[in-house]
Each structure stands twice: as structure tokens, then as C-alpha cells.
Structure 1
Amino acid sequence: MGPISSRSWSGWTFSFLSLQLLASLNYCFCHTNKTHHQWLEAQATWYGPPTGAGTTGGACGYTDSVEKPPFHKLVAAGGDAFYKSGKGCGGCYKVKCKSHPDCSKRPVNIVITDHCPGTNQHFDLSGHAFGAMARPGKEDLLRSAGKLTVKYRRHPCKFYGTPMTFHVDAGSNPYYLEVLVEFVEGDGTICSVELRAANSNEWVQMKPSWGALWQHSCSSPLCGPISFRITTDETKRVVTVNDVLPKDWKPGQDYRATHH
């Protein structure tokens, strides 16, 4: 091998420095997010029954899960900045109000489960979540305000013993699989879902369907058990859930991760 010319050496140095810079940028992107630390301002309204979960439909696809643990009706329809075309589904926030005499000023933990279109920095809270910002006994008075300026910040999701859950959509079949991924601790939000069937050694990228649902079509039947590899949106944490869909998986069923 001959000597390295100054031209090729400088190119190598530039490439090396570029890689270092990209690694640095990636680290900052993955681990630094001001919304995790700073309280920012947004508008808040509420919808649905006064003590309810907003709606059991919703643009994320969680259906009646919003009424049950671990959501406990503490949910919101996010404006565009929070819903993020569905990528914000499952994101957790602390929200508090100080602008009304009936505000408790204590933060309430909420999860994005729906979309409030035509707004940006806006939380359309469930009636229950809006009332939870009130001083004890003042929930109805606070809800009567209708709209408030609130402070919020992103918060790591904790579901306290509820494992990550995969709901197989009712329209699924051996050649088409659509799953709703729920209760992702940490980020809550997902940027990638891959699957691996029992009859394959390869991970296959699923496509976003709508809300928090992901889909995959194939020309040969998907044989269980089926594993999933999840990449979270904020920190890019990779979680592998092996064999969560059994050999005899069925549409319309929930399957919970036992370990990952």
C-alpha cells in the first residue's frame, strides 16, 4: 500500500469528523428534549361527559381503553403539535393550571389518545382530566370556565404494572395484520414497529396505519408465534417483545407482553 496523499488524508479526516459530528447530533436528538424539563404554555378545553373520558372512539384507536386502568380517563385530544399525525399517540404530559381561582396548581398526568384538529398547542382534555386540575370539590366550577391557559411538559410514561399490549384489529387475517400497540413505558410514542413471524428469521418493517395502529400485508400466511421490535420516538429505545402473538392468534384479541 502506497503513502496516503494529503488530499485523501484530508478527505478521511473530514469523513471521520463528520461521523463524530453526526454521532454527537444523534446523541443530542435522542437524549435532549427541553419539553421534558421546561414548563411551556398551551390552551386547554374539555369535551365529552363532565366526568368521562372524552370519547371511546378517538383518532388514536384506543377505544374503551381510555376509560379503564391504566389510563383512568386521564386523557386528552392533542392539537397538531401533540398529535403529530398519529405519532404523538400514547405520549404522556404533566398539565397544570394557575389562571383560575379554582385551580389546584398541582400537575395532572395525561396521555394523548385523540386528535383536536385545527389547533396546535392545545389540549382538549377529557372532562375527568380537566376537573382533576381543580381544588377538591371545585371540579364543576373549574369545568364551567370552559377554556384555560395551562402549563405543560412532556413526562415519561409509567403504567405501573400494566404490560405493553398488542391488540389485533378485527380486520386482520393470516395475510394482513394490523395491531394497536398500547402502554409503552418511557416515551409512550413509537416511530417504528417491526415483526418477525415463526416461519422467518428476518425482521419486517410494518407501516403506520392510522393513530397508534401499524399494519403489514404479505403474500404468504403469517405463522405464530409472532415477535415485535419497537423503536420509541423520543429516545429511540429499542424494545423486543418475543412470541407475544401465539401460534393460534386471533383477530379482535389483546396479547400482553410477559417479558421484554
Structure 2
Amino acid sequence: MDSKKLLFQLTFLCSAIFAYFPTICYGDYYASRATYYGSPECKGNPTGACGYGEYGRTVNDGQVTGVSRLYRGGAGCGACYQVKCTVPGLCSDEGATVVVTDYGEGDRTDFILSTAAYAKLARPALADKLFAYGVVDVTFARIPCKYNYNLQFQVVGKSKNPGYLAIVPLYQPGAYEIVAVQVWQVNYTINRDN
């Protein structure tokens, strides 16, 4: 069998299994602390633990976060949160809507925000004063993600292990998490004469 025919016969199908159990009640706010990335570009980590690469720095207009206990072994990747700071006189009422793209631990914090997200915590023209705090008290709530895209899968082309296939779900809208993905091989023949 020639390699072209074999290539057309092998295809991977993905089936996402959605688990409909939120780990945090939607709409309920919890107290925590937040800080921001101190990287040179302050956009988040392009090698983040969620495996999103550059997408993890630009999704949601760059309003992204690394989390510690909310990471839950990777199940928290892609989750959306409304984060509001509680510093009197400096904080906006809306706060920031962030997407989890990385794991990170700070000074007793649940969130390590991109600078774009951290700035959204402040009232207009007061972001510099909020940045001077470094770490601030916040309240947060899990919220449904909203994207202008349907669920997509990215097949990661490079790996240190040649026998490893990595598939990353992207743009998962809604309030629930993908906790498992099944992948299997389907053989079919494409008739190229028609």
C-alpha cells in the first residue's frame, strides 16, 4: 500500500465528553487575592501549563490568568471568572473577566493576571495606583465563557515524545468543563477517481 493511500485511510476523530458539574457555584463570589505577571511583556506565559501557546496570551483580548487551586490538574484550563478588587476608591465595579490559561502561585493568591486584566480591576486613570499594590484582595465568581467561535480542537504538532498525540480544546463556550476527550482511529478509503 503506497503512503498516499495510507494517509487518506487514516483519520482521527475526536469526541468531547462534557462533564456538567461546576466546581464552584455560578454567581457566588468568593474572597481571594490577585497579582499580575511580571514578565517583560506582561501578557501571560506563552509556555503556560494549559498548553495554549500564543493563543493563551491573546485569547479574550489578553485578559488571561494563571491560577493555583482553581487549576485542578488542568481541568480548570479555559474556565472564565469575573474578578473584582476590593481596594476602597481604586476598584471598578465591573472588574475583569479572565480566562485561565496557566498554572501559577503567588503570595497567597488564586489569580496571577495579565496586566491587561489587572488594569481592568481599577477605575479609569487609577490603574497605576493599583499596580503599586502588587497584590490586592479580590472577590471572584465562575462565569460562563463567551466567544465568537464554536468549540475547536488544536492538534499540537511537536512533542518531546514521538508517540504522543496532544489535542487541546479551544474556545469552549458555556459554563462547563471538558474533563475527558476520546480519540480513536477510523479507516476509510477515499475514491480519488470521482
TM-score over 0.5 for the pair:
yes
Matches within 5 A, 1:19-38: 30=20, 35-38=25-28
Tell me which structure has the larger Cα radius of gyration.
1
Inter-CA distance 159–120: structure 2 relative to 1 (3 Å threshold): farther
Cα shift readout 1:10-62 (whole Å, capped 9, x = no counterpart) = xxxxxxxxxxxxxxxxxxx9467653021111111111358732222211111
- List alignment gaps of at least 5 residues for structure 1: 1-28, 201-222, 224-260
**TM alignment of 1:1-260, pairs within 5 A:** 30=20, 35-49=25-39, 52-68=42-58, 70-80=59-69, 82-117=70-105, 122-161=110-149, 163-171=151-159, 176-187=164-175, 189-199=177-187
Distance 1:54 1:172, change over 3 A: closer
Structure 2: where are the runs of 5+ without partners?
A: 1-18, 190-194
CA distance in 2, matches of 1:56, 1:39: 29
Normalising by structure 2, what TM-score?
Answer: 0.75
Q: 1 or 2 for the larger relative contact order (CA 8 Å, sep ≥6)?
A: 2
User: How big is the alpha-carbon RMSD for the aligned residues of Structure 1 and Structure 2?
Assistant: 3.0
SS at match of 2:180: strand
Aligned sequence identity (%): 30
TM-score normalised by length of structure 1:
0.58
